[in-house]
Amino acid sequence: MQDWLKYIGLTLLVLFLQVMLVDNLHLFGVCHPYIYLWVLLMLPIDIPRWLQMFIGVAIGGILDLFAHTPGIHMAACVLVTYLRPLMLTGFVQDAERLKGSVTIETIGPDNYLRLLALLVVTHHALLFLLEAFTFAHFGYTLLQILVSSVSTFLLVLLFEYVRKST
């Protein structure tokens, strides 16, 4: 029970930071980091799939509410929470390692970095393509996906290493 309370508190803190601080950092008009992906990545592996999807819907819905976007965060979060278990079983063959939360320690640094990179790029690609909803400015959208993915990747790694050191 204490792990769940810690996870809920961490989720609320990250969502607060995302909405109040990070959403206001639109660097150069193309860099939009989304640190809340760390919360979706860290979800405990052993919780039921329907609960994982519900958490993705809830987090995406909260962000859509504050960002005034019509469901694009929700769609991207649902895609990430749907793909995460499939990718985990593809990256980690040792079933013993798939217990608890997804961290660098539980699945290994290489697997963690690959999973993080793939989920971040997938999330950002869907998010920015839905936001643009046209291929007229595809180069600009592609630049947003690339720059935002790199910044999100680095910030999530920073959060993970801070969590690991405490």
pLDDT given for residue 122 in this prediction: 97
Cβ atoms within 10 Å, residue 151: 21
| 32 vs 45: CA distance, rounded Å | 28
Report the pLDDT value the prediction gives residue 90, as an integer from 0 to 100: 82
pLDDT above 70 for 82: yes
Q: 119 exposed, middle or buried (CB, 10 Å; 0-12, 13-18, 19+)?
A: buried
How much is the average pLDDT of 68-96? 88
Instruction: Look at residue 128 in the predicted model and tell me its pLDDT.
Output: 94
Half-sphere exposure of 73 (CA within 13 A, CB side): 24
Answer whether residue 98 shows pLDDT above 70: no
106 CB contacts (<8 Å, ≥6 apart)? 97, 98, 99, 100
Entry pTM: 0.91
117-157: per-residue pLDDT in tens?
999 999 999 999 999 988 888 899 999 999 999 999 999 99
